[in-house]
């Protein structure tokens, strides 16, 4: 069968590699893909926001299944558009994607179905938001309502920081802002919890912990993610049951009550406080780099799981995992998350030999004349499976050191809470 994958990051490369393992798949197309996907699929240069062009290519080439990786096309309604054109597509529709597209939509859903989350206020202008923070206890969390690539969140320690954040959001730093969300700061430990759902059945899809800050010790600016490890050190059967019963199931049911069936991956960003889960936010797709960290552990046919989900047959799908620790480190362009140079040759990448438990997923890369060049902020994702997180991390650091790429940098402390503390 033929599969199309929409997206160009490390997440999409890891999905592509997992799909490639299926005996039922004989051809993969990536829109537009990257240097890594070009080695195992056909990269097609079509703008992923041009739904009509994508549709025409998919129908013309008789692609049997389309998997949508990133959030923007989902939020913009690509699933609805493909469904209208009889294209089998994996991912939530436009209404369901509001869970990520509008933080306020999610907060109101939480309120209606008693889903545990931080107390919050919604404001439409700078004056009202400023009046609220003047009476608030610090720290507080201020969020842009829409998509912000994981960067539209401020943790403010005082009034000046709060007012500056409010001004930046309403001035359009993360796109046009009609609303702003201000919520209490929850102090605990974060965890990423993943499930797959066909709207009726929900199956867990592992846990992870990512590292958003650019500098070691979780300092510096927020990024799309500098690395991750899986499983989370917090997860237990008891906690998993609480997360499903108090957060995931009520969400799926709430959407169903709106005549909306949730089909796809669902990623709950959680705060765990005294072994109780609180929802920070939802993402309507796999995380990046969590996806790259989790998929190498999958001991089942991802293509079949996704087909079962699309066909509302997930209850019969068997999902097995290797009993290994997985850790991912992201190699970034110097300067990220601010300005960085592009089109820099990664000279020695093809000389690095990986064993069966080591993976290199490309993100911001492009292949020109059989050479690999960096074109993004997050460039490469190295993943290792091992019996311990330390073993995984040591293995990756050794690999990246041998890469010897002078224009890149990475965090050497990914997983420090499970290794160094």
Distance CA 333, CA 346 (A): 11
Q: Looking at residues 202-231, what average pLDDT do you find?
A: 95
Strand 140-144, strand 180-184: pairing = antiparallel
Q: Looking at residues 104-127, what average pLDDT do you find?
A: 94
Residues 307 and 333 in one domain: no
Residues 253 and 203 in one domain: yes
pLDDT band at 166 (very low <50, low <70, confident <90, very high): very high
Residues 309 and 197 in one domain: yes
**53, pLDDT greater than 60:** yes
Residue 148 has what pLDDT?
A: 62
pLDDT band at 116 (very low <50, low <70, confident <90, very high): very high
Of 17, 57, 23, the closest CA to residue 38 belongs to 17
Helix (H, G, I), strand (E, B) or coil at 42: strand
Residues 27 and 72 in one domain: yes
Distance CA 130, CA 164 (A): 10
Residue 152 has what pLDDT?
A: 78
Residues 329 and 312 in one domain: no
Residues 298 and 202 in one domain: yes
- pTM (two decimals): 0.94
Whether 28 contacts 20, CB under 8 Å? yes
CATH number at residue 141: 3.30.1490.20
Q: Looking at residues 323-340, what average pLDDT do you find?
A: 97
Say what percent of the chain tops pLDDT 70.
Answer: 99
pLDDT band at 179 (very low <50, low <70, confident <90, very high): confident
Contact partners, residue 71, CB within 8 Å, separation at least 6 = 97, 100, 101, 147, 283, 284, 285
Residue 150 has what pLDDT?
A: 56
Looking at the 3D structure of the chain, how many domains does it have?
A: 4
pLDDT band at 178 (very low <50, low <70, confident <90, very high): confident
**149, pLDDT greater than 60:** no
Q: For the chain, how many residues are written?
A: 421
Of 94, 24, 87, 16, the closest CA to residue 57 belongs to 87
- Count Cβ atoms below 10 Å from residue 50 Cβ, excluding itself: 12
**183, pLDDT greater than 90:** yes
Residues 312 and 330 in one domain: no
Residue 9 has what pLDDT?
A: 97
118 found inside a domain: no
Say what percent of the chain tops pLDDT 90.
Answer: 90
Helix (H, G, I), strand (E, B) or coil at 256: helix
- Show which of 299, 316, 333 is a domain's final residue: 316
113 found inside a domain: no
Residue 146 has what pLDDT?
A: 72
Q: Looking at residues 86-99, what average pLDDT do you find?
A: 97
pLDDT band at 172 (very low <50, low <70, confident <90, very high): confident
Residues 339 and 401 in one domain: yes
Residue 78 has what pLDDT?
A: 98
Distance CA 366, CA 375 (A): 7
Q: pLDDT tens-digit profile of 277-292?
A: 999 999 999 999 999 9
Q: Looking at residues 84-107, what average pLDDT do you find?
A: 95
Residues 288 and 228 in one domain: yes
238 found inside a domain: yes
Residues 218 and 297 in one domain: yes
Written as one string, the DSSP assignment of 126-179 is HHHHHHHHHT--SSEEEEESS--TT--EEEESSHHHHHHHHHHHHTTBTB--S-
pLDDT band at 15 (very low <50, low <70, confident <90, very high): very high
CATH number at residue 301: 3.30.470.20
Distance CA 365, CA 9 (A): 9
- Give me the domain span that covers residue 145: 125-178
Question: What Å distances lie between residue 63 and 44, 66, 202, 244, 305, CA to CA?
Answer: 13, 7, 27, 34, 18
Edge to edge, the sheet with strand 2-7 lists 42-43, 27-32, 2-7, 65-68, 89-90
pLDDT band at 153 (very low <50, low <70, confident <90, very high): confident
Q: Looking at residues 41-67, what average pLDDT do you find?
A: 98
Question: What Å distances lie between residue 359 and 14, 18, 315, CA to CA?
Answer: 9, 12, 30
């Amino acid at each position: 069968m033929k599969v199309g994958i929409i997206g160009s990051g490390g997440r999409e490369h890891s999905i592509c590699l997992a799909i490639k393992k299926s005996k039922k798949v004989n051809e993969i197309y990536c829109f537009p893909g990257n240097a890594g996907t070009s080695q195992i699929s056909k990269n097609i240069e079509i703008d992923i926001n041009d739904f009509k062009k994508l549709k025409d290519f998919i129908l013309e080439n008789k692609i049997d299944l389309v998997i949508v990786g990133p959030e923007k096309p989902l939020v913009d309604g690509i699933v609805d558009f493909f469904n209208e054109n009889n294209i089998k597509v994996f991912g939530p529709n436009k209404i369901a994607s509001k869970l990520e597209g509008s933080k306020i939509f999610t907060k109101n859903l939480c309120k209606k179905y008693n889903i545990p989350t931080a107390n919050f206020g919604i404001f439409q202008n700078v004056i009202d938001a400023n009046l609220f923070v003047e009476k608030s206890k610090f720290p507080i969390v201020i969020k842009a309502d829409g998509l912000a690539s994981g960067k539209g969140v401020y943790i403010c320690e005082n009034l000046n920081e709060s007012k500056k954040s409010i001004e930046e959001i309403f001035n359009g730093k993360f796109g046009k802002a009609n609303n702003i969300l201000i919520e209490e700061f929850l102090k605990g430990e974060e965890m990423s919890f993943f499930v797959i759902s066909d709207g009726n059945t929900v199956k867990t899809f592992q846990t992870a912990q990512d590292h958003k800050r650019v500098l070691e010790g979780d300092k510096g600016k927020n990024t799309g993610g500098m690395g991750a490890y899986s499983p989370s050190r917090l997860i237990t059967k008891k906690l998993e049951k609480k997360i499903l019963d108090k957060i995931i199931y009520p969400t799926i049911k709430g959407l169903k009550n709106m005549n909306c069936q949730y089909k796809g991956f669902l990623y709950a960003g959680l705060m765990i406080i005294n072994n109780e889960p609180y929802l920070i936010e939802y993402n309507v797709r796999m995380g990046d780099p969590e996806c790259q960290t989790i998929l190498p552990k999958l001991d089942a046919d991802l293509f079949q799981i996704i087909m079962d989900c699309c066909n509302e047959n997930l209850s019969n799908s068997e999902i097995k995992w290797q009993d290994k620790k997985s850790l991912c480190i992201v190699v970034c362009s110097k300067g990220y998350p601010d300005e960085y140079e592009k089109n820099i040759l990664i000279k020695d990448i093809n000389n690095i030999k990986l064993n069966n438990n080591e993976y290199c997923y490309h993100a911001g890369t492009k292949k020109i004349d059989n050479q690999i060049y960096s074109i993004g902020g997050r460039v490469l994702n190295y993943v290792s499976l091992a019996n311990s997180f330390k073993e995984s991390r040591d293995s990756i650091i050794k690999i990246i050191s041998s890469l010897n790429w002078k224009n890149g940098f990475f965090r050497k402390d990914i997983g420090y809470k499970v290794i160094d503390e």
